[in-house]
Amino acid sequence: MPLNRYPLTFLHSTDSTNNYAMAQVHAGLAKHGAAFFAHHQTAGKGQRGKSWFTGDGHNIALSIIVKPNRIRLSSQFYLSASVALGTLDFFSKYAGDETKIKWPNDLYWRDRKAGGILIENVLRDKSWKWAIVGIGININQARFSKELKNPVSLKQITGKDFNVETLAKELQKAILKRIDNLDATNYKKILTDYNHHLYKLNEKIKLKKSNIAFSTTVKNVSSHGELITQDSIERHFAFGEVEWII
pLDDT in tens, 153-185: 999 999 999 999 999 999 999 999 999 999 999
Mean pLDDT, the chain, rounded, equals 93
Q: What share of the chain is helix, strand, coil (3-state, %, to 5)?
A: 30, 35, 35
Q: What is the pTM of this model?
A: 0.93
> Rounded to an integer, what distance in angstroms lies between the CA atom of residue 194 and that of residue 192?
5
Distance CA(44)–CA(49), nearest Å, equals 10
Residue 47 is predicted with a pLDDT of 45
> How large is the average pLDDT for residues 1-6?
70
Q: Which residues pair with 54 in a beta bridge?
A: none
Amino acid identity, position 173:
K
Domain residue ranges of the chain, discontinuous segments joined by +: 3-196, 204-244
* Position 68 pLDDT exceeds 70: yes
Query: 137-152 in b/e burial notation, b at 16+ Cβ within 10 A?
Result: bbbbbeebeeeeeebb
CA dihedral over 27, 31, 36, 41, signed as positive or negative: positive
pLDDT class for 44, splitting at 50, 70, 90? low
pLDDT of residue 48: 44
Q: What is the reported pLDDT for 69?
A: 87
The pLDDT of residue 7 is above 70: yes
| % of the chain beyond a pLDDT of 90 | 85
- Detail the DSSP E strand segments found in the chain: 8-14, 35-41, 60-66, 99-102, 106-109, 112-124, 127-137, 204-209, 212-221, 227-230, 234-237, 243-244
Q: How many helices (H) and strands (E) in the chain?
A: 5, 12
* Phi and psi angles of residue 90, each rounded to the nearest 5 degrees, phi first: -65, -50
* 124 vs 225 pLDDT, higher one: 225
Q: Tell which residue, 206, 204, 232, 188, has the closest CA to residue 78.
A: 188
- CB neighbours of residue 127 within 10 Å: 8
Q: What is the mean pLDDT of residues 72-95?
A: 96
Q: Is the domain defined by 3-196 classed in CATH 3.30.930.10?
A: yes
Q: Is the dihedral of CA 184, 189, 192, 195 positive or negative?
A: negative
Tell whether the model's pLDDT for residue 89 goes beyond 50: yes
Tens of pLDDT along 194-218?
999 999 999 999 999 999 999 999 9
How far is residue 100's CA from residue 200's CA, in Å, rounded to a whole number? 9
